[in-house]
Amino acid sequence: MSPAFGKCYDPSGATWGIPTFPWRLAPDGYATRRQLRARGLRPGGQPVAAQLMRQARRRKSGVLVAYLYRIDRAKPVRPMTPGKRAALAAAMRARRLCPACRTDAGYCIPTSLGMCVPCAYPTDAPARGSQESPEHE
């Protein structure tokens, strides 16, 4: 067993306080939040049941952790209400509205530009070097 595997394998929870498994080796019956969401479930207020761990050189702590929840205790995702749907539509509409020309761009405005692409890079400006100087006339 490699030292990295041994550090990340603690099914009793003696070292880390909760059962810990190496990355991709979680036992059946556990899932991450994303995996629950893909099944149409949510944690539903249950505490973290276990964790996955692997070494990560680029992180300060030196480890990468993913929390696991019990699938049998998960609850179904709440349905979208009409009010929530309207609020989400208004927020997306605001992200598409260009503040410069006040038109719907048809896509989310890039935050790096702060306006739609045609307003950020107007095409009606003359190209550099294409005009002749008046001296040569």
What integer pLDDT is reported at residue 127 of this predicted model? 54
In angstroms, the Cα distances linking 78 to 25, 40, 101, 112 are 30, 9, 38, 34
Q: How confident is the model at residue 125 (pLDDT cuts 50, 70, 90)?
A: low
Name, in order, each residue with C-beta under 8 angstroms of 97's C-beta and a sequence gap of 6 or more: 103, 104, 105, 109
Q: What is the mean pLDDT of the chain?
A: 85
What integer pLDDT is reported at residue 33 of this predicted model? 96
pLDDT digits (tens, 9 = 90+) for 78-105: 999 999 999 999 999 999 999 999 999 9
d(CA 92, CA 109) in angstroms, rounded, equals: 10
Q: How confident is the model at residue 124 (pLDDT cuts 50, 70, 90)?
A: low
More confident residue, 125 or 118: 118
Mean pLDDT over 22-33 rounds to 91
pTM of the full predicted structure? 0.64
Q: Pick from 55, 49, 44: which is nearest to 7 by CA?
A: 55
Residue ranges covered by each domain of the chain: 3-76, 82-122
Q: How confident is the model at residue 11 (pLDDT cuts 50, 70, 90)?
A: confident
